[in-house]
Structure 1
């Protein structure tokens, strides 16, 4: 499933024009039991694992809001869910716990879609919905200071606190949830979702978040002033030796590690955000992605870098907007694609 944060808008300004129609906010909690995380929680469907079999709870989070404004959003969500179910193979005792963060109007749309598709699931699953306004109230005091640095402006799509949910997820989720994956809706799965959860096992000591590199020169552009003042910097340079920044279409959040990390929690403080934005001359508009990118320039040890095949971004906007000479250095991705990301509303290849 894909986190409907309108991931196609993550990597390029062109997507900002889609904001009003594609605003997405979904948070899914799947699992057994009867846990509730907010007063708005509603159980849609549950096929809990047998108590005799102890497996892994696979927490997957998706944002799905304002869906009534953009019918195409439903099509993207349906395609993402179908591909996830088609390739999903869970281990004995595993259960998918799907968290849906949504608003009142979008909830009915989501419930209908999930009822239609989850009947095909060959594994235990549970869906719990959460009211986006309740989560926003919890998030706002934590992320208010950083919004002015990583949002396009008051009243715009990424200015909403909910688009910083991943940044403070460890303070919102109950402590029994130790790991969660947040995904955009404009994804197509070509591999088993359980394999992505196994990436948590490869985190090095001190790493708290798994994330793939940005595959366009968007941060070469955003850090232009810092790069001009520091001509030998790796900031904004392409891989494998440069620091191209991150794309948050697929996020592995080790909530337990995030809670324990003194460094990560210090970086959430307004004074630290201000200090880093001033150092890097940074002003972004892509929400959590900008925060993770800036922090990654200063503290790369906090991140487990996913292979590009787990978030194969397809948008080529920057190729036609001033960076054709270096574009392919960022866009190249070798290997068999596991997840396609149709950001910038880019069509995803058919099977």
Structure 2
């Protein structure tokens, strides 16, 4: 959540932007074409969306002069979405961003998800903390296994998930009378309340609002022997649906669509377009059920002539002679004249993002705008409506309000309280099969460390859980980076978790906790992204855990992986401990930070490690911060340590306080690679205030230890010495 100062600054910037747009608008005058479009929008001229030859044109024209009656400002609008898998969950977030950008009403999202998407979206919306947005989940796995749709063969890539919109009247609450149903691959360019307002135009018998299909699929003339399901004319596209749930239930919808599907499956064997085929078959038999919607509410990007006419006539885009968008619509999100055109863009198959026509680039740019749009800006409250923040968000807001902006450590305390939006398993992830001694490498990074990922994947063949601190725009760059890397794209056992950037300081321990919480193996190797493990370390760690029988020991154990460093950017990595010792003796390698922070790793006892043939125990000492292998349920990192300093030290203290035994492994090693210093370490070195704040947090940490562990924590308090520590 944004603190008061940031909210005021953001509000002032937004107001200034609005003034610039309005002043420019009136200084340069309105384009008469824009004026006509705005008037058409205001008067609800939906006839612009009616296509020539549309068999439902009379129905569209019958409502074209009715002014849409928008719902009351604080009325709750309901939206249902079926979502399954990693990629679909990313699409949902982009769709929701576009809806939130324009919305002025509270929303209730009804999400039908599989286990993967539910885990991702639950975390995302809990950490997003958008006011006036309620979420309810429905179990898609149960629907897949149950009798409602599992009997329908479907050739569409969506599988059984593509049929689940058919059963929404059965699974949504009986108290819910109306719902907007959306595919995950749509992007809004106007307020969803305007779509909701079209419910008012339904006749007494109409229960389903749909836009005409803009391809020739249902005409049956795409290729020889092409036999689609029956449809009325061109049929309707189900990417955007208005459902009168109360009327559907009263009309016996479930029996109606099942009877129709069973009848058609006798000759057609399977659906080709999933729920859309069944909806169209029912409408062909019962055309009175459908209320045709203007095509602007579901512009299906395609190469077909009909869609082209929708772009030109319904969307009413101003296009120059060379096919580029005119000045009027160059900034569709800021320019009110453009809001009278396309309302919903539908990328209704994966290949449509690559489709080529003269309007595709405009639609693509609008879609990309929301892909990279900063999600934290959508946390704004709805003016004039009751504050509907989640309880944890209200508590956070109160805590933020109590901070003193004049306090020297204000930005630290602000960062400590910040809840970052988190998108777990951002990319498709295939967890390894369960093994009792398996180890996941856990680390965190930001955009400037992406180049280290490929080398890490070559050194560590096992599972990894990585937290990435990125902006929304950087997240899209990261997608491209992985997709174009043969090494990274081949690894499906690496789980990437995006933590969206907010605030001036790097939340290092919050990132570590995100990655640690998502590890799925029994043990974790707590590392940093700028370290490369020995090529053999993954196998060696699993063998050591098994040989030491750690899972059966009553004593909790942390296995120490000795850390080294090289100052050379070009460096031949050692294949064994013997090769490492040779490089160490030659001065090409050093024990980690021996020259500037020796106490951080001195207790590892490198002299003993050189000769060791078996694991040996070491004692905790002040400022010790080794890299360790521990059980997955180990203590979490203390999130108060942000930026640079003491973040790992505090974690090792916590392990020692919980009586973890520290065992150094004789054949294990990891090597730190050189890189440019981070912004936080530069600030630490140059700012006395920064160092003073770190010292204050160290003292607060020790006070908390004393409260939790009593007399046992005295040794940490007496060991605390003012120092310019690194962690």
TM-score w.r.t. the length of structure 1 is 0.64
Which ranges of structure 2 fall in alignment gaps of 5 or more residues? 1-71, 315-340, 354-362, 367-727
Q: Which has the higher contact order (CA 8 A, sep 6+)?
A: 1
Structure 2: distance between partners of 1:81 and 1:309: 19
**RMSD between aligned residues:** 3.1
Residues 236 and 280 in structure 2, CA contact (< 8 A), matched pair in contact too: yes
Give secondary structure in 2 for the equivalent of 1:111. Answer: helix
For each residue in 1:23-49, what CA deviation from the matched residue of structure 2 results, as whole angstroms up to 9, or x when unmatched? xxxxxxxxxxxxxxxxxxxxxxxxxxx
Task: State the Cα distance separating 1:225 from its structure 2 match.
Answer: 9.4
Aligned length: 255
Task: State the Cα distance separating 1:329 from its structure 2 match.
Answer: 3.3
The residue number in structure 1 matching 2:109 is 98
Pairing partner for 1:134 from 139, 142, 163? 142
Give secondary structure in 2 for the equivalent of 1:349. Answer: helix
Pairing partner for 1:268 from 232, 245, 257? 257
Task: State the Cα distance separating 1:227 from its structure 2 match.
Answer: 10
Task: State the Cα distance separating 1:133 from its structure 2 match.
Answer: 1.6
Residues 223 and 282 in structure 1, CA contact (< 8 A), matched pair in contact too: no
Structure 2: distance between partners of 1:143 and 1:267: 14
Distance 1:265 1:113, change over 3 A: closer
Structure 1: distance between partners of 2:119 and 2:211: 32
Distance 1:227 1:102, change over 3 A: closer
2:286 aligned with 1:299: yes
Task: State the Cα distance separating 1:301 from its structure 2 match.
Answer: 0.9
Q: Which has the larger radius of gyration?
A: 2
Structure 2: distance between partners of 1:105 and 1:265: 28
Task: State the Cα distance separating 1:116 from its structure 2 match.
Answer: 5.7
Residues 59 and 181 in structure 1, CA contact (< 8 A), matched pair in contact too: yes
Task: State the Cα distance separating 1:314 from its structure 2 match.
Answer: 0.4
For each residue in 1:135-157, what CA deviation from the matched residue of structure 2 results, as whole angstroms up to 9, or x when unmatched? 434xx423345x13xx11xxx74
The residue number in structure 2 matching 1:350 is 365
Task: State the Cα distance separating 1:56 from its structure 2 match.
Answer: 2.9
Give secondary structure in 1 for the equivalent of 2:97. Answer: helix
2:78 aligned with 1:59: yes
Task: State the Cα distance separating 1:62 from its structure 2 match.
Answer: 1.6
Superposed, 1:125-204 pairs within 5 Å as 125-137=133-145, 140-145=146-151, 147-148=152-153, 151-152=154-155, 157-160=157-160, 162-204=161-203
Task: State the Cα distance separating 1:101 from its structure 2 match.
Answer: 2.1
Residues 62 and 99 in structure 1, CA contact (< 8 A), matched pair in contact too: yes
2:238 aligned with 1:251: no
2:267 aligned with 1:312: no
TM-score w.r.t. the length of structure 2 is 0.32
Structure 1: distance between partners of 2:306 and 2:185: 24
2:329 aligned with 1:339: no
Structure 1: distance between partners of 2:111 and 2:235: 28
For each residue in 1:3-29, what CA deviation from the matched residue of structure 2 results, as whole angstroms up to 9, or x when unmatched? xxxxxxxxxxxxxxxxxxxxxxxxxxx
Residues 213 and 244 in structure 1, CA contact (< 8 A), matched pair in contact too: yes
Residues 60 and 183 in structure 1, CA contact (< 8 A), matched pair in contact too: yes
Residues 222 and 284 in structure 1, CA contact (< 8 A), matched pair in contact too: no
Structure 2: distance between partners of 1:129 and 1:227: 38
Structure 2: distance between partners of 1:331 and 1:278: 36
Distance 1:179 1:225, change over 3 A: farther
Structure 2: distance between partners of 1:196 and 1:261: 24
For each residue in 1:217-272, what CA deviation from the matched residue of structure 2 results, as whole angstroms up to 9, or x when unmatched? 111228989999xxxxxx77xxxxx710111111111110101114x4442344x4
Structure 2: distance between partners of 1:74 and 1:275: 34
